[in-house]
Structure 1
């Protein structure tokens, strides 16, 4: 089977295969992107570029049903969530069309000594390479391409091998929106070809969303070649419950935080850390909801994803953890479950579970909750539920993460920066910060 292929996770059927790029095609893509940067990005105005990205948003909206069907077929995303992803992607493009002028405005600097003036002018840096994952095929591209194309950078993009059809649909949108050849170029590249592309002097920066292993490999090559990288490498986000005046509502929030995209979200709640006085009731209510979720649950993205999750769960149980679940794995379908008794001695304790299984822990104090929340190599998102406003602020300050959400889940927004610390990566996407990563902040000092 080809490296790039649509394999329906519901049936395992190979729907369509796509040819992997030749070395000549990769060279053509890089040359085209470099030429577009020299020409289009230097001659187009910000108004030109915002008009183009606004058209990209409109085309996502016009084609939303077709786009949603594609990723339902590619990676099993339920149609309602797939439509939501397309709409959110359109909103990202629209956001940068609306706000680019403000974000990219000249920034005067007040001089401490001497006459004259100084100003920071923000401009593009050149060709950027994007390496995208399968779990959010449109959204991941939007938060990378939206700000950078508006800024004037050009993009070569490698999508996940299981998402060639959505990659093709995105390329068609940029073409139909009126972007010149080379401004946005999709490539069905191998890892070896991408390694060479990172080292290519025409490429000025790399953005990757993926695994720790992939992030380390990309960062190593980029570092040797003095290229800036933005990495989003996943997480095992804590969901801390310290108090509640409506435990049923808190449990519903926990379900929403864990099971969006069948549990295959980098910033999903994965470790539930519950105060001892609420633990028994929370665990009982939560476990019942999790088991009930088996009816109508979508498959994981692939058979391989289900196999990897099964290995992690089996290891945890072998190490003494308790699993409550009903049903058995059937191909890419994975029965939801709750793990308790996972100890620091088990490797699973510090791993990311990418699927519909939650770990639940009991703690006796606020300090113990924070310590357990931070006792992992990741630091992407986190959730704190408490009725005490001062406690919420105190705990949020102590959590080692790039994002903290208090008494709310699903509150991501186009205006909110997304990113993490520790082994969850570095750099930010979305909002004002998303357009400020691959930018030349040029100082102009006039005497």
Structure 2
């Protein structure tokens, strides 16, 4: 299916509703148990401005809470690239999935040559396409149709960069697929230089880039190809090791989460990886993550111009490695899952509330406007959308694996087209209607 023609027009574009409200809290259909009232002040503290993934936290505290809308505060002047705003009181990240076979998918897998073979599920034998036809519908408002022409014209003469891990790379590839069909052959290219991949739209003098930095800080997992290291180490105060490659971008989208989740502790290096004797200490995952978040915000403050540039941070991408979490049979996972989780109170088991608290605490103190893309809850429902076994396998499968597909199903990454196109629709909405 081609990109819908209405998406190519600058006029008659459906007006989006963005997550905005007054500085007072907006609580919808929430059944608050008494002890949650005592935590309301803390919730407001965490949620102000960014709409952090505090619904994940609430879900763990009280599964009877249906929904708590994003709480925002008018702290910033008009943000760069914004062309309007929506009425107060709509949370883009709170809603439901609806079947839509008239406008979805936004492109075909076979039409986008930039999708890496880890994400081409149809090419690797997935028998169904249902995962491609779901559209995110916020409660009481709509997402705008993704307007590829508007996006490309906005990027004219500019650089957009995604920085982070393979999940952010999936979102990056999705963005390229959403845009590339408007660019004539011979006027576009994609090249990779170590950790940096660059898609160039020559006619627009624009680039859309991805930079591999799974921790944002320098680490022993920074090799873009060989990075499967179980004993992971990050280097304190090393943001500029990668950050020097991010300078000059106009729009930057960060993510970092999955690689931190290796246990309760994280190894942190003081000094250099080149030192003969290495000074390594262990910090709690939360303290190490806080260190990285502070470094990222410090880099943003020093290197981004709040009057010309925009910064986004994408929340954790959930996995579906245990079907028992959603009421399935023990010992199974996302393999062969083709339906959505239809329980609105489902929060998943990998929602690490302590990390969300770190994000809320650090971002609250930011002196630079960061737009938070809260993709966690809406992605939690999508156990159907993972690559599972339908991807290129870089290592030969053992006979035992072949006999038991559950054992090698990838329940972390997502098929394209699919869920990550919605992440970019949310990015589009927040870029132009913050």
Higher relative contact order at CA 8 Å, sep ≥6: structure 1 or structure 2?
2
- TM-score, length-normalised on structure 2? 0.31
- TM-score, length-normalised on structure 1? 0.30
Flag the structure with higher helix content. Answer: 1
